[in-house]
Chains A and B, each alone.
Chain A
Amino acid sequence: MYAFTYQRPTTVAEAASAIQAEEAKLLGGGQTLLPTLKQRLARPSDLIDLSGIPELKGIREVDGGLEIGAFTRHAEVAHSDLVKRVIPSLAGLAEGIGDRQVRNMGTLGGSIANADPSADYPSAVVALKGLVTTDRRTIAGDDFFTGMFETALEPGEIIKAVRFSRPDKAAYAKFRNPASRYAIVGVYVARFGAEVRVAVTGAAGSVFRADAFEAALAADFRAEALNGLSVGADGLNADIHASADYRAHLVTVMAKRAVEAAG
């Protein structure tokens, strides 16, 4: 790790001014950023630790769903009675992230800001019609993820909270990487009345919606409705753990499992 200046503001406004420093970086739970620093792959001048800002924390029930502060740890979401009651599939997703240590440290804001192609939360942000509130504006979940490790966030923009809509039925099915436990493929299926959203993470450079799956499920919300459907291997990720065609296959399998779990 290279030397840096550590700052721990107590308000978003303070954080927003601190992050103006050239080469400054926001620090969430540190589960992605700190390993990067330890491996000397990044060299920030300042780390602005968000852990001391009360307004970034907490889970609230809001009209039509939940609002979760950006600095809410995965474990808090996983164990929250409120989340379990309002959107149980979201608690399930959080419980399946990494391992216990990672869940006790990692945060929602850090996860979606990082936009790792194999992270779990991006699928929830898209499937649950998320709204990402920052210190500057509100960004629709559908517009938030713009590419591999890329988001609509501007430099220095701070995520304050994410709003998730409450679906009628939903489930997240994850095929985890046996080594890292990230998603090789994760499929979040959510049904809102006649509308069905199918958000796929892990498979491609960024989370995406499987349109054909959505249409089929809107017509018939049963796993069998997906028989014969595939997102196709073109453009999907390939690595030593999973080739593109295996990922394409898993998307269908996981989508079916999510539909079955959603009931």
Chain B
Amino acid sequence: MANPNGIGASVRRREDQRFLTGRGNYTDDFKRPNMTHAVHVRSPYAHARVLGIDPADALAMPGVVAVLTGADMEADKVGSLPCGWQIHSKDGSPMKEPPHYPLARDRVRYVGDAVAVVIAETREQARDAAEMVVVDYEELPAVGSSTRAIDGAATLVHDDAPGNVCYDWHLGDKAAVDAAFAQAAHVARIDLVNQRLVPNAMEPRAALGEYDASSGEYTLTTTSQNPHVIRLLMGAFVLGIPEHKLRVVAPDVGGGFGSKIFHYGEEAVVTWAARKIGRPVKWTADRSESFLTDAHGRDHVSHAEMAMDADGNFLALRVSTLANMGAYLSTFAPSIPTYLYATLLAGQYKTPAIYAEVKAVFTNTSPVDAYRGAGRPEACYLIERLVDVAAGVMGMDKTEIRRRNFVPADAMPYQTPVALQYDTGDFAKNLDIALPLVDYPGFQQRRAESKARGKLRGIGFATYIEACGIAPSNVAGALGARAGLYECAEVRFHPTGSVTVFTGSHSHGQGHETTFAQIVAERFGVPIENVEIVHGDTNKIPFGMGTYGSRSLAVGGSALVKAMDKVERKAKKIAAHMLEAAETDIEVKDGRFTVAGTDKSLGIGDIALQAYVPHNFPLDELEPGLDEQAFYDPKNFTYPNGCHVCELEIDPDTGVTTIVNFAAVDDFGNVINPLIVEGQVHGGLVQGIGQALYENCVYDEESGQLVTGSYMDYCMPRADDVPSFTVRYHEDQPCTHNPLGVKGCGEAGTIGAAAAVMNAVVDALSDYGITHMDMPATPEKVWRTIRDATPALAAE
């Protein structure tokens, strides 16, 4: 490595200085002259007709500037929040796509659905006045869960979605699967729930709308993972503002985990209202609003079966899943339980036939969309729980049954029966690295020692593969995406040799300002301090699809490499001219351009200066300037994969689970910054552990009220709930189709961890004949399971 801050160096995150010293610049930090504050009036009911809204008392309150409703938006022809992905049902019919207005018009469909916005001089005044808006509701029966939505008697959430079904979709070869089951020697079955989660980004959502009457330009500053996407969706579909008159800025954003991908109604409300009242309008969610209105994650109810031959070889997998969409379709909601879930059901196994059915339904709950992992944790959890059940059916060791069924490394590239083609992966190797980390052979002895202390010890494995860097636009388009999925980068050398990189990728905790700069530093030999990474502003960045699906490096980084290729090509021309050599004789290494076989060379800094001071350029052949832009559309998804192992101890007296060891072995392809990768893995693991043991978003089935609406009841994992992790990665299987050989690491931890923990919990309880427990494995649930499985105790 030529550059100490180049690829492979654990450079400390450059952005952390400002974050840790309180100098970050978040949406709520923005203040504008004459700025007003918006507070939304939200439905206290899960389902109700809105008979009337009387703003008179609110308008009379001090400081109130305006009270606006859905009717005002309708009068201004404001459109519905668009859905970015269309799914077709088995019968070919398109999914049901009911309108989703930023302010509800005649009906509210979940607790928190906005019906009006109050705009005042201060936030407190807006809050005071919001309480005075009189909304006349006629309460309707609510549908509080997906199973209730389809029970036949359920009320309709949307009149034009019969049976509350959004779509009834399938993937795979049903006939082949049925045939395999008919011949199976053994079948493993499981019913499981992948519970709903609240994303809980540290920074609540916020939006600031501005309108400049002299230029007719709008500016939206918002907590977004993808400002260009918001510009497109809001500009084109909701407010009818052309792109050149709409600037969307996503400044520092304090975590998203998917929940800030989507276009939310509040963004449209503040942008529209800013013009209406002629003043900037800011809205910032409080934590209660975050709980109620951020798009939630997961919420699947599934049944799965694995057919096996007499030796435990997987023959076929059959899955049926009920997915909760919530009250409306959030931006990418339909794609999550379909193309980001069912396509991953092969996992790391060579199961020859797979058939999955997914029914997505509407309920009177907050919309559900992508949440860290988005579909892939659900797939991993289902497969890996089922594989453990299969091991039990076969009486096989849990590592052995996995090994037997792994897609072998030499079968790569491997076409799964569910649409994806894995490019690389050595799954046995991951397991081989993991086993010594947890001293697997010593486990039985540790289990016996725990037992002697009255504790139950369990070990759980989870292997995962995910499809990241969401993928070629043509494939995504064929599958229903209404957007392309490329990325854009611009590399601008300044005359004195410093560099500004403009990326369409967006960092909200991922550390782009460090990793992207490392890539440039490595390539051109410039000091990392001389590289600035700019992101998150549609007026600065040519275009961008943003950050989600672990795509920043794999797609955004690749675009950056493409732009650097162009810079290098141009620089070579300039070098050839300056050194009076043929372009073909110029050799490039670490940012030095040398005439082959001579000591004549130039650094990129000299070249940049010449590029901007082209006193003797042959202008017909050589343009001044050193500033290049590239778009990169990937050839395939990338496939990070790995093996996670969890060892834990359960106190049967209380049901408390304590994780004693957790090892994660991951294949992320090449690694740019090991420190950041490790941090991403740690955070992901904690989120996965959070789902397994703590987090649970509960709605009251009858009333549709959110029961877990604060941290008093919604349990987040904390630092002292988790052990010190053992994290390893290998770089033996770089991605074959992107220039950096990278796969992505942002979601991996979350994808593998929940399954590993739950497999360990069930393993610990195996003496009681337990074969499954739904998440989260709360103390009471564990205690009760043990008690109910122990006739003597239950009788006590």
Contact = CB atoms under 8 A, between A and B. Distances in A.
A2 B128 contact: yes
Interface string A239-255: 01111001001100100
Contacts of A249: 783
Contacts of A1: 124
A178 B694 contact: yes
A241 B780 CA distance: 7
Contact of A178 (B128, B708, B779, B783): B779
Interface in B693-708: 694, 698, 707-708
A253 B784 contact: no
B784 A246 contact: yes
Given A240-B698, A243-B780, A180 B711 contact: yes
A250 B778 contact: no
Interface string B226-244: 0000000000000000000
A192 interface: no
A250 B654 contact: yes
Nearest to B715: A179
Contact of B712 (A40, A179, A250): A179
Contact of A240 (B653, B694, B708): B708
B713 A240 contact: yes
A39 B127 CA distance: 11
Given A39-B288, A240-B707, A240-B708, A179 B780 contact: no
Contact of B780 (A2, A39, A246, A253): A246
A3 to B, nearest CB: 8
B715 A175 contact: no
Nearest to B696: A240
Contacts of B784: 246
Contacts of A180: 711-713
Contact of B715 (A3, A39, A40, A178): A178
A240 B288 CA distance: 19
B782 to A, nearest CB: 11
A17 B29 CA distance: 41
Interface string A176-219: 00111000000000000000000000000000000000000000
B714 interface: yes
B780 A242 contact: yes
Interface string A1-25: 1110000000000000000000000
Contact of B713 (A39, A179, A246): A179
Contact of A246 (B128, B698, B716, B783): B783
Contacts of B694: 178-179
Size class of B's contact patch?
A: 20 to 34
A250 B784 CA distance: 12
A39 B708 CA distance: 16
A178 B780 CA distance: 11
A175 B783 CA distance: 13
A179 B654 contact: no
Nearest to A230: B796
Contacts of B778: 178, 241
Contact of A179 (B127, B131, B288, B714): B714
A240 B712 CA distance: 11
A2 B698 CA distance: 30
Contact of B654 (A39, A240, A243, A253): A253
A39 B288 CA distance: 9
Nearest to B653: A253
A240 B694 CA distance: 12
A175 B128 contact: no
Nearest to A239: B713
Interface string B771-796: 00000001110011000000000000
A51 B712 CA distance: 26
Contacts of A175: 654, 779
Q: Which of B694, B707, B713, B716 has the most CB of A within 10 A?
A: B713
A242 B713 CA distance: 11
A116 to B, nearest CB: 11
A44 to B, nearest CB: 16
A106 B128 CA distance: 28
Interface in A222-263: 240-243, 246, 249-250, 253
Q: Which of A39, A178, A243 has the most CB of B within 10 A?
A: A178
Interface string B130-147: 010000000000000000
Nearest to A247: B780
Given A253-B653, A253-B654, A179 B128 contact: no
A243 B788 CA distance: 15
A175 B127 CA distance: 38
Contacts of A3: 124
Nearest to A185: B654
A175 B651 CA distance: 12
Contacts of B708: 240
Q: Which of B288, B712, B714, B784 has the most CB of A within 10 A?
A: B712
A246 B784 CA distance: 8
A40 B288 CA distance: 12
A166 B661 CA distance: 41
A39 B779 CA distance: 30
A242 B655 CA distance: 11
A122 to B, nearest CB: 18
A243 B712 CA distance: 17
Contacts of B127: 40
A241 B695 CA distance: 11
Contacts of A179: 694, 711-716
Nearest to B721: A178
A2 B62 CA distance: 13
Interface string B520-550: 0000000000000000000000000000000
A175 B656 CA distance: 10
A39 B698 CA distance: 21
A256 B339 CA distance: 53
A40 B131 CA distance: 10
A179 B694 CA distance: 8
Contacts of B124: 1, 3
Nearest to A38: B286
Contacts of A240: 698, 707-708, 713
Contacts of B712: 179-180
A249 B651 CA distance: 14
Nearest to B695: A179
Interface in B675-692: none
B503 to A, nearest CB: 37
Nearest to B781: A246
A119 B434 CA distance: 43
A249 B796 CA distance: 11
B196 to A, nearest CB: 14
Given A3-B124, A179-B713, A242-B780, 16 more contacts: A1-B124, A2-B128, A39-B288, A40-B131, A178-B694, A178-B779, A179-B694, A179-B711, A179-B716, A180-B711, A241-B713, A242-B779, A246-B780, A250-B654, A253-B653, A253-B654
Interface of A: 1-3, 39-40, 175, 178-180, 240-243, 246, 249-250, 253
3 tightest A-B contacts by CB?
Answer: A179-B715, A180-B712, A246-B780
29 contacts: A1-B124, A2-B128, A3-B124, A39-B288, A175-B654, A178-B715, A178-B778, A178-B779, A179-B694, A179-B711, A179-B712, A179-B713, A179-B715, A179-B716, A180-B713, A240-B698, A240-B707, A240-B708, A240-B713, A241-B713, A241-B780, A242-B779, A242-B780, A243-B780, A246-B780, A246-B784, A250-B654, A253-B653, A253-B654
